[in-house]
Structure 1
Amino acid sequence: MVDAATLTSEEQTNLELAHEYMRIAYTPGLGSADAVKHLCASANRFVGPTTFPGTETLEQYADVHGELMTKLDDLHFVSFDVEFVKNDRVAFRYTAEGTHKGAPHGKIQPTGRKATWTASALFRAKDGKLVEFVKEWNNLPMWEQLGWPIEECLTYNK
């Protein structure tokens, strides 16, 4: 974890900003574009084509992730395994888990199966707003644990 005593005021602000975005975007029933827009610069960008293809902004990500959380309505962070802050950059590697006990996944009714996975979130901030979010997440292990079609995770044919 980051030693707050070693951070500049800008770095502390950026760390808090990224944590707040993650808190909102990863809280079932809360994650949505409207809930995070106050944290985002107007011309922001989301990069994660293997995660959520077609998602281009931080607000769009909060919406599609909010949809995922209707299926895993107990989704939560287990830990932030790595945190790094330098100037305008904030990086997290985290572990999360959730149970498919909410809405159906396509035609698959809730399985009651629990999944645990890891991902990385790389943020860039400017003037107190988030301008970029790069997400690295291999969703295949999660899909396998939940019993969802792994073909949905394949990117070579998209």
Structure 2
Amino acid sequence: MSPTSLSASEAKRRFGVEKEIALFPENLTTQEEENVKVVLEYMEIAYSPANAGSDSVAHLCAPGNTFEARSTFPDAHTAEEYAESHAKVMRALNNLEIVRFDYVIAKDNTYAVLCTSVQTENFVSLRYTATGSHVGAPHNGIQPTGRRAQWTACGNFVLDSFNAAAGEKPRIRKWLKDWDKMQMWQQLGWVRPNNDEVSFA
């Protein structure tokens, strides 16, 4: 797959998300295209002031899905719980937004299992740049600092397959997140002397 880029208007037309995608595979299968749509829709909701928590993203999440980001959201174990945790962050950074998707990569991997059945694993990986200011609610006892931050984060997703003929869409089954949290904390003034005793995002 050759890499290309999508402007914000092109990404809006193709995926419904009005954010630049700086690096993107040029040719996607139908499955890969649908997988990317689901992941970007999830990200758009999670980073929107309209994020009301788990109910906002439940339609994009497979039953029994898992979420893992031990260093950043240790109490969130599903994609729905992440949306809940992130809604809390957005109450403090009430102008938080994704600036752009630095890259989006998609791969559907179909293979035979013991020569008797076919299994498909659907992967989407992305890196994005976000920004926001602590001008909203207090965050874990820290009053609004008024400071602005910009940081990056990465997400690796595994999605269920879908049956387009039956009107089904893929849904998120697994999500691994890696986030440069300390860069964000330092810029916002959230680093405290007792951070070894306090875990917060």
Q: Deviations over 1:78-115 (max 9, x none)?
A: 11111111111001111000000000112221111000
Contact 2:76–2:82 (CA<8 Å) still a contact in 1? yes
Partner SS state of residue 19, structure 1: helix
Corresponding letter in the other structure for 2:45: I
Match of 1:2 in 2: 24
Residue correspondence of structure 1 range 113-132 to structure 2 within 5 A: 113-127=147-161, 128-132=170-174
Structure 1 residues 134 and 150: alpha-carbon distance in aligned structure 2, compared to 1, 3 A threshold: farther
Which of 139, 143, 153 does residue 181 from structure 2 map onto? Answer: 139
Q: How far, CA to CA, are the matches of 1:112 and 1:138 in structure 2? A: 20
What is the RMSD computed on CA atoms of the aligned residues? 1.8
Larger RCO: 1 or 2 (CA < 8 Å, sep 6+): 1
Structure 1 residues 153 and 62: alpha-carbon distance in aligned structure 2, compared to 1, 3 A threshold: farther
Match of 2:134 in 1: 100
The structure 1 segments of at least 4 consecutive aligned residues displaced by more than 2 Å after TM superposition are 1-4, 149-155
Contact 2:105–2:124 (CA<8 Å) still a contact in 1? yes
Match of 2:68 in 1: 47
Structure 1 residues 42 and 151: alpha-carbon distance in aligned structure 2, compared to 1, 3 A threshold: farther
Match of 2:20 in 1: none
Which of 84, 88, 101 does residue 80 from structure 1 map onto? Answer: 101
Structure 2, unmatched stretches of 5+, are 1-22, 109-121, 162-169
Q: How far, CA to CA, are the matches of 2:172 and 2:131 in structure 1? A: 25
Structure 1, unmatched stretches of 5+, are none
Identity among equivalent pairs (%): 41
More helix by share: 1
Structure 1 residues 100 and 123: alpha-carbon distance in aligned structure 2, compared to 1, 3 A threshold: same
How many residues are aligned here?
A: 155
